[in-house]
Chains A and B, each alone.
Chain A
Amino acid sequence: MRRFLVKFFILLMFISGMAQFKLFDISWEIFRVVQPLHIAFSLLVMLFFMNSFIYKHIRRYYFVKKTNSMDGWMLLISFVLVTLSGVYLLLVGNRGGDALGAVLFNIHLFGSFVLMLFFLWHITAPMKQSREPLALLAAILLFYPTISQSKITNLSNLEITKNGTKSYHSEDWTSSAKCKSCHSEIFEQWSNSNHKHIAGSNPYYMVMETLAGEVEGEKFREWCMSCHNPSALSVGFGKSTHAMDGNFVSNEHFEKGAKTLLKDFKEHGNFRLEEGVSCITCHQISDATSKGNASYKLLLDRKKYAFEDSKFTMPHLFSEKLINANPSVHKESYSKELYKDSKYCASCHDESHPKNGIKIVSTYEEWEKSPFNNPNDKTKHKSCIDCHMTNLSEGKFAPLKGTSTDGGTLKKDVKVHYFAGSNHFLAGLRDKKNEEQTVQLLKSSAQLDVAIKGKNLEVGVKNIGAGHHLPTGVADFRELWLDVEVKDKDGKLIVSSGKLKSDGNIEDKSRLFQKVFGDENGKPVGLLFWKYKTLLSDTRIPSGERRVESFELPKDAIYPLKVSVKLNFRIYPQWVSDKVRKVFPILPNPSIIELQRLEKELK
């Protein structure tokens, strides 16, 4: 009986292990069941059966009967190797960070073939005559095509349109809190970024979404939510919600490391929906076009390892071990070539009115026409993530060497998830490191020059660093302007422009680089940017171009002139912050960032 069981068990371990071999490409549904069974069964068999059998077997034949068998010893060695590598894969895994993992993975995989060969040799030793047909039969059995099955792809496409027709549940949206245990560094970066705080915890957004609902009807919020809060939209929520702290609005936008999210996940698991742009919002996008207005498809039916959704600690830890032991499926289901493509980002970073189709944000279109889009010359081509997800150091791109998974492969350029853009302010409320990355990026975008042409002082601003207009995005809510001071020989101020008024707004007639939206009657739209019908002005600087602003100098100016020019940036105009503060009184004022400064003496 024992002799039969040994053969049966070894065959079973081998087959269940082989089933996970990439070559066979078995369906994911079977894979995720076979994998834990293989581990659990092998552990049990090894602990309670095989070890004692091997011990007794060796004792009986080698020590008692004094028979020595070369194939027996070879079998033992391969057995030990396969077992130990298996234990390592379970406990540490093959995450890519250590070469040992990859080596042991291959030992475990190919060692098992060697083991089987020695095993067949060993057990057929007593009956040498019938060896060949048996080996042949075993090989046929093992590689019989029925074992491998065709891939079942019953994965449904989530296409979040503005109507949100397909229905999903909170549990379909795996909480980002889950990703933290293995991707701690990236989680940390994301948790303080503007992508995480883009819905309920973003005061500006909440005011705007509510306002849009009030002015255009509640349904209109869905337009906003399709990019800002797709999870809530998909499960049928009509609006974004914010957390409460007693009778006060929770100060989540000041909170570092997504504490509320982690707490929610601990207490409610996936039952409480994570709102906003979560890890899987981006990492489950299966297809995207550059149309904008959430032109992406989300695929929530991803391949899950066994126990991945378990609410209990032990099975969940086990599922993490399962991923680490064989992470290829996990990697594939969360990362795609598409993610490096600019159109992937364009699906949300281009925006047009949902009804009349008037383009409101056209960052992607700007990039498309810019020198940064150069598919013929790979060295000059720069996509969104080359600037916005690359680490910066001392004002220059300094790709971060490191790992994206704890213990994972060392990468030359880990894509950082600060999503540095222009909003240093809100990210800076939580994390100075994030703010500093953004400010570095901002400062690398423009260059100043001054010269006197006739009676005028000409200040040139060149967009040298951005692959899109400067500023872009919601350019009607961005302030980029020149702060100019000219003093004559005696130090008398003869030209001044771009100063702040006492209420914090920039004085009139300042030189702003911005887009001003007007409604159908040509009046500025103010907060209601979706009312945009006529473009009142567009003084933004396209990529690679230079804009000249000239300031008239008084005729009697005594030379030499001392010119001081600053290129200033403020993420939200004072009047916008003032309005938002009426609803969120503790919101501080965004600071003014001096992007460039030029002091020159002109003769």
Chain B
Amino acid sequence: MKKLLSYALLIAIVIVSMMATIAYFTPPKKVPNYSDAELRELAINKGHKAMPSSLDELISLVDDASNPMTQEKITLGEELFFDTNLSKSGKTSCATCHSFDRDLKNSGALLKMLTQKEPKTNDCAACHLRDQSGVDRFTFSQGDRDTMHPHLLNTQTILNTAFAKHFTWSGEVKSIREQSANSLLAHHKLNMTKEDINSTLAKNPKYKKLFAEAFEDGITFDNTAKAIEVYVKTLVTRGAYDKFLDGDDTAMSQRAKRGLANFINHGCKGCHAGRAFGGESVQRFPLREFAQLYDVKPNFEVIPTPKRLDSEFPFENNGGYLGKGDAHLFRVPILRNVTKTSPYFHNGAVPKIREAVDIMGRHQLGRHLTLEQIDEIVAFLKTLEGDIVDYRETK
């Protein structure tokens, strides 16, 4: 008996000391302290360049030979984007879900709404229209006649998609043009048919003129999608981060700079790549679901009841969507303006940005980010917040 006990004790000591040794020799990842110039260079080298500040620069970066960007198309696209007639009920437009104030100066949306006798916007938009976020801030998207998305998917931001290579949550759509067409036709979005659209547009002399100016073949369904694509491509935001890259050291706080260093060094930038910080690839999520198959916490309860975690997602999967090919493959979301687009993940299950960062750290990086790191990264993400650049002014 005594022997058994001492062996058990010995084994316990060995195990504990092994764990301690491993922990000791795997210290937390050290993120170097960069000077402002070094950090700027690092960010640019990793591809996180600033957003263009002039239309010419933007066009040189994102123009597509199959649908060249022209001023006429932009004008037409804008009209189409905000036109509620392009929906079955006549009340929904692209901007219903991809919401932002058409007046880019965006002053006084709430005050306007409060003082209007018959407010035109809904109650959420009263406060959030001025966010200029390009989303509806809903948990799941609701299209024409409030039809819910069949998979209860959250609306993704339309801003900065000019720099994306994949679209929608599955990333299977390859161009904005394609997705514009999908959205016009989908029953849970604008719920139109090609014929409906053509006839609606043809009835309106304004469109006859605009289409004739923008396209050789006038009003067609394809041209509608093309014009919307060109307009959407001009919806680009610039924030404090871009100012920092342009040489203004004071644009970002020390905390945000540490956050950027964390973002790059911990490997977030691997997927959230490029100018838009995402949208360039399709990746698996959660990558490390094995890390927490069982929640061991309840083992310390008065009555131990270990529970198996939802092995699909680290949150409740309302809507049951499983990504591209049901294989947990998702387009990497764009992080520009992410702090304005809560709730997070494909079904909007995570309401707070800090929690989203924590989940990404644990399940994509396999790392328990410290509170300090999480708050720094959030501070950095806030610097990606910005208003839509009014390119008519920058010309």
Contact = CB atoms under 8 A, between A and B. Distances in A.
Interface of A: 167, 169-171, 206-207, 210-211, 214-215, 235-236, 238, 241, 243-244, 246-247, 249, 268, 271-273, 311-315, 527, 579, 582-585
Nearest to A247: B138
Contacts of A211: 110-111, 114
Given A272-B355, A582-B113, A247 B139 contact: yes
B375 A244 contact: no
A167 B255 contact: yes
Contacts of A585: 123
B130 A243 contact: no
Interface in B275-319: 297, 300-302
B58 interface: no
Interface residues of B, number: 34
Contacts of B114: 207, 211, 527, 579, 582-583
Interface string B72-90: 0000000000000000000
B255 A312 contact: no
B110 A210 contact: yes
Given A236-B255, A268-B355, A582-B126, A169 B371 contact: yes
B375 A235 contact: yes
Among B107, B109, B124, max chain A CB count under 10 A is at B124
Contact of B127 (A236, A268, A311, A583): A583
Among B300, B343, B355, B358, max chain A CB count under 10 A is at B300
Nearest to B382: A238
29 contacts: A167-B375, A169-B375, A170-B371, A206-B127, A210-B110, A210-B127, A214-B109, A214-B130, A215-B108, A236-B375, A236-B378, A246-B139, A247-B142, A249-B123, A271-B358, A272-B352, A312-B300, A313-B300, A314-B302, A527-B114, A582-B113, A582-B114, A582-B119, A582-B123, A582-B126, A583-B113, A583-B126, A583-B127, A584-B123
Given A206-B127, A582-B114, A585-B123, A314 B355 contact: no
Nearest to A586: B123
B343 to A, nearest CB: 7
Contacts of B126: 582-583
5 tightest A-B CB contacts, nearest first: A312-B300, A247-B138, A169-B371, A579-B114, A583-B126
Interface in B342-363: 343, 351-352, 354-355, 358
B371 A215 contact: no
A170 B302 contact: no
Nearest to A206: B127
B300 A314 contact: yes
Nearest to A315: B300
B203 to A, nearest CB: 33
Contacts of B138: 247
A214 B372 CA distance: 30
B140 interface: yes
A389 B142 CA distance: 47
Contacts of A215: 108, 111
A312 B371 contact: no
Contacts of B372: 169
Contacts of A582: 113-114, 119, 123, 126
A292 B127 CA distance: 28
Contacts of A167: 255, 375
A111 to B, nearest CB: 31
A200 to B, nearest CB: 12
B245 interface: no
Given A241-B352, A582-B119, 16 more contacts: A167-B255, A169-B372, A206-B127, A207-B114, A214-B108, A214-B109, A214-B110, A215-B108, A235-B375, A236-B255, A272-B354, A272-B355, A311-B297, A312-B300, A314-B301, A583-B113
A241 B128 CA distance: 12
